[in-house]
Structure 1
Amino acid sequence: MQVHLNRPARRFDIPQGLNDTADATLMGRTGHLLRMIIMLSHAGGIPALPMLDQSNRPPASRWPESAPNWQQRFMFRAGRVIALFILCHAASLAASVMAPLDSIGLQPLWSASAVQQFYAERENRPIWFDAEMPRPALFSLVQFLETLGDHGLDPDDYHATVLREGLESAPNIPLPERLRNQLEWWATDAFFALSVHLDTGRAYPGRPGLDAVLMNALPQLSVLLAVAVDHDQVASHLTPRPADPAIYAGLQAALVRLEGMPEFPVFPVGTASLRPGERDPRVAQLRECVAAWERFALPETPTAEISPDDPLIYDSGLVQRVMRFQTHMGLEDDGVVGPATLAMLNTPRTRRLDQLRANLERQRWPVLEEHGRLIRVNIPAFTLAALHDGQKVWQTRVIVGRQYRPTPLLEGKINTVVFNPTWTVPTRLVKEDLLPKIMADPNFLEDEGMTLYQRTAAGSIPIDRTELEEMIATGTRPSGLGIRQAPGKRNALGRVKFLFPNNEQIYLHDTPSRQLFNRARRMFSSGCIRVEDPLVLAEFVMGDEPGWTPERMEAIISAGKTRGIRVEPVAIQFVYWTVWADAQGNNVHFREDIYDEDAALARDLARTPWEEAT
Structure 2
Amino acid sequence: MFRSMLKGKSRYWINILLCLFIGRGEAAGVVAIRPAAELLVVPIETALEGGLAIDWPQIERLYDKQRHRFIWHHEGELTEQGRQLFRWLANAELDGLNADDYHLDHLRGLVFDPSPEVMVNRELLLSDGYLRLARDLRLGRYDAQSLDPFWMFPNESFDPVDALSSALSAGALEQLLNALRPNNSAYLQLKDALAKYRDIQAKGGWLTLHLDDSLRLGDSDPAVALLRQRLQGESSRTGEMIPDPNYFDTTLAKAVKRFQRRLGLVPDGIVGSATLRALNDPVETRIAQIRANLERWRWLPHELEPQHLMVNTAGFEISLMNRDQVLFHKRTVNGRQERQTPSFSSKVTHLVMNPLWTVPRSIAVQDILPQLQQDNEYLARKQIRVYERSEGEWGEIDPVGIDWANYHENNFPFVLRQDAGNSNSLGRIKFHMPNAHQIYLHDTPARGLFERPNRAYSSGCVRVEAADQLAQLLVEYAEQPQNVWLQQALRSGETQMAPLAKPMPVYLTYFTSWVDAAGDIHFRPDIYQRDTALMLVMGEGIEHVTAHYESRAENPSL
Q: TM-score, normalised by structure 1?
A: 0.73
Q: How does 1:195-274 map to 2 (within 5 A)?
A: 195-203=134-142, 205-206=144-145, 221-226=160-165, 228=167, 233-243=172-182, 245-261=184-200, 262-268=204-210, 272-274=213-215
Note closer, same or farther for the CA distance 1:292–1:390 as it changes in structure 2 (3 Å cut).
closer
Note closer, same or farther for the CA distance 1:235–1:465 as it changes in structure 2 (3 Å cut).
farther
SS at 1:103's partner residue?
helix
Note closer, same or farther for the CA distance 1:234–1:370 as it changes in structure 2 (3 Å cut).
closer
Matched residue, 1:76: none
Matched residue, 1:575: 509
Matched residue, 1:193: 132
Q: Decide whether the 8 Å contact of 1:126 with 1:184 is kept in 2.
A: yes
Matched residue, 2:364: 430
Q: Distance in 2 between matches of 1:411 and 1:188?
A: 34
SS at 1:114's partner residue?
helix
The offset of 1:117, in angstroms, is: 4.1
Q: Distance in 2 between matches of 1:479 and 1:110?
A: 57
Q: Decide whether the 8 Å contact of 2:357 with 2:425 is kept in 1.
A: yes
**Is 1:111 the counterpart of 2:55 in the alignment?**
yes
Q: Which amino acid aligns with 1:349?
A: V
Q: How does 1:374-523 map to 2 (within 5 A)?
A: 374-455=308-389, 458-461=392-395, 462=397, 464=399, 466-469=401-404, 471-472=406-407, 478-523=411-456
What per-residue deviation string (whole Å, max 9, x for no partner) do you get for residues 222-254 of structure 1? 344345556664333211455463333322222
Q: Distance in 2 between matches of 1:124 and 1:204?
A: 32
Matched residue, 1:11: none
The offset of 1:46, in angstroms, is: 8.7
**Is 1:304 the counterpart of 2:304 in the alignment?**
no
Matched residue, 2:8: 47
Q: Distance in 2 between matches of 1:470 and 1:257?
A: 60
The offset of 1:604, in angstroms, is: 3.1
Q: Decide whether the 8 Å contact of 2:61 with 2:161 is kept in 1.
A: no
Q: Decide whether the 8 Å contact of 1:418 with 1:496 is kept in 2.
A: yes
Structure 2: tracts of 5 or more residues without a match: 1-5, 11-18, 24-36, 148-153, 541-558
What per-residue deviation string (whole Å, max 9, x for no partner) do you get for residues 59-93 of structure 1? xxxxxxxxxxxxxxxxxxxxxxxxxxxxxxxxxx9
Q: Decide whether the 8 Å contact of 1:497 with 1:508 is kept in 2.
A: yes
The offset of 1:48, in angstroms, is: 4.4
Matched residue, 2:31: none
Matched residue, 1:546: 480
Q: Distance in 2 between matches of 1:476 and 1:435?
A: 9
Matched residue, 2:99: 155
Match of 2:228 among 287, 294, 301: 287
Q: Decide whether the 8 Å contact of 2:421 with 2:493 is kept in 1.
A: yes
Q: Which of 1 and 2 has higher RCO (CA within 8 Å, sep 6+)? A: 1
SS at 1:275's partner residue?
coil
Q: Distance in 1 between matches of 2:216 and 2:516?
A: 31
Note closer, same or farther for the CA distance 1:217–1:506 as it changes in structure 2 (3 Å cut).
closer
Q: Distance in 1 between matches of 2:323 and 2:333?
A: 26
Q: TM-score, normalised by structure 2?
A: 0.80
SS at 2:500's partner residue?
strand
SS at 2:508's partner residue?
strand
The offset of 1:540, in angstroms, is: 1.5
Q: Distance in 2 between matches of 1:384 and 1:333?
A: 20
Matched residue, 1:555: 488
**Is 1:320 the counterpart of 2:264 in the alignment?**
no
Q: Which amino acid aligns with 2:210?
A: P
Q: Distance in 2 between matches of 1:565 and 1:229?
A: 51
The offset of 1:433, in angstroms, is: 0.9
Q: How does 1:332-371 map to 2 (within 5 A)?
A: 332-367=266-301, 369=303
**Between structures 1 and 2, the one with greater helix share:** 2
Q: Decide whether the 8 Å contact of 1:163 with 1:186 is kept in 2.
A: yes
Q: Judge which range, 534-543 or 223-232, deviates more.
A: 223-232
Q: Distance in 2 between matches of 1:233 and 1:164?
A: 24
Q: Judge which range, 402-411 or 594-603, deviates more.
A: 594-603
CA-based RMSD of the aligned residues comes to 3.3
Q: Distance in 1 between matches of 2:455 and 2:485?
A: 31
Q: Distance in 2 between matches of 1:582 and 1:396?
A: 13
Number of aligned residue pairs: 496
Q: Decide whether the 8 Å contact of 2:138 with 2:302 is kept in 1.
A: no
What per-residue deviation string (whole Å, max 9, x for no partner) do you get for residues 181-226 of structure 1? 3223211111111222112322352599xxxx99x865xx334434
Q: Decide whether the 8 Å contact of 1:450 with 1:484 is kept in 2.
A: yes
Q: Distance in 2 between matches of 1:242 and 1:144?
A: 12
Structure 1: tracts of 5 or more residues without a match: 1-44, 50-92, 608-614
Match of 1:605 among 533, 538, 542: 538
Q: Decide whether the 8 Å contact of 1:329 with 1:590 is kept in 2.
A: yes
